[in-house]
Amino acid sequence: MEIPWWRDAVVYEIYVRSFADASGDGVGDLAGIRERLPYLRRLGVDAIWLTPFYPSPMADGGYDVADYRGVDPMFGSLADFDALVASAHELGLRVIVDIVPNHSSSEHPWFQEALRGAGRDRYIFRDEPNNWQSTFGGSAWTQVADGQYYLHLFAPAQPDFNWRNREVHEMFLDVLRFWLDRGVDGFRIDVAMGLYKAEGLPDVDGQAFGTVSPMWGRPEVHGVYREWRRLLDSYPGERMAVGEVWTDDHEDLARYVRPDELHQSFNFAWLQAPWSAEAFRKVIGDTLAAVPHATWVLSNHDVVRHRTRYETSEPGTGLARARAALLAMLALPGSAYLYQGEELGLPEVTDLPDAARQDPVFFQSKGEQPGRDGCRVPIPWTVDPPSHGFSPGGVEPWLPQPASFAELSVEKQEGVADSTLEFYRRALALRRELVGEIPYTLEWLDSPEGALFFIRGSLICAINCGTAPVRLPEHDEVLLPSGPLRRDLLPPDTAVWLRRRS
Q: Does 60 contact ligand GLC by CB under 6 A?
A: yes
Is 107 or 411 the residue whose CB approaches ligand GLC more closely? Answer: 107
| Range list of H helices, 145-302 | 166-181, 221-233, 250-256, 269-272, 277-290
How far is the C-alpha of 77 from the C-alpha of 67, rounded, in Å?
13
Residues whose CB is less than 8 angstroms from the CB of residue 371 and which lie 6 or more positions away in sequence, other chains included: 357, 359, 360, 361, 362, 363, 365
CB of 335 to ligand GLC, least distance (A): 18
Please report, as residue ranges, which positions from 298 to 357 form the binding site for ligand GLC (by CB under 6 A).
Answer: 301-302
| Among positions 54, 63, 75, 132, the unique one binding ligand GLC when judged by CB under 6 A | 63
Nearest in space to 323 (alpha carbons), one of 301, 341, 306: 306
Is 303 or 427 the residue whose CB approaches ligand GLC more closely? Answer: 303
Q: Does 191 contact ligand GLC by CB under 6 A?
A: yes
Q: How many residues sit in the footprint of ligand GLC (CB under 6 A)? A: 9
* CA angle centred on 208, ends 153 and 189, rounded to 5°: 55
Is 100 or 427 the residue whose CB approaches ligand GLC more closely? Answer: 100
The one catalytic residue among 244, 311, 373, 493: 244
3-state secondary structure of 106: coil
CB of 448 to ligand GLC, least distance (A): 38
CB of 60 to ligand GLC, least distance (A): 5
Q: Does 13 contact ligand GLC by CB under 6 A?
A: no
What H or E segment, with its residue span, contains residue 456? strand 451-456
Assess whether 244 carries a catalytic annotation: yes
CB of 246 to ligand GLC, least distance (A): 8
Residues whose CB is less than 8 angstroms from the CB of residue 485 and which lie 6 or more positions away in sequence, other chains included: 472, 478, 491, 494, 496
Please report, as residue ranges, which positions from 224 to 243 form the binding site for ligand GLC (by CB under 6 A).
Answer: none
Q: How would you class 275 by CB atoms within 10 Å of its CB: exposed for 0-12, middle for 13-18, buried for 19 or more?
A: middle
Please report, as residue ranges, which positions from 136 to 155 form the binding site for ligand GLC (by CB under 6 A).
Answer: 154
Q: Does 21 contact ligand GLC by CB under 6 A?
A: no
Nearest in space to 295 (alpha carbons), one of 341, 255, 242, 259: 242
CB of 73 to ligand GLC, least distance (A): 21
DSSP assigned state of 139: B
The one catalytic residue among 190, 311, 342, 343: 190
Q: Does 100 contact ligand GLC by CB under 6 A?
A: yes
Q: Does 190 contact ligand GLC by CB under 6 A?
A: yes
10 residue type, one letter? V
Is 266 or 453 the residue whose CB approaches ligand GLC more closely? Answer: 266
108 Cα distance to chain centroid: 25
Binding mask 237-276 for ligand GLC (x = CB under 6 A): -------x--------------------------------
Assess whether 351 carries a catalytic annotation: no
Largest CA distance in the chain: 75
Active-site annotation, residues = 190, 244
**Binding footprint of ligand GLC on the chain (CB under 6 A):** 60, 63, 100, 154, 190-191, 244, 301-302
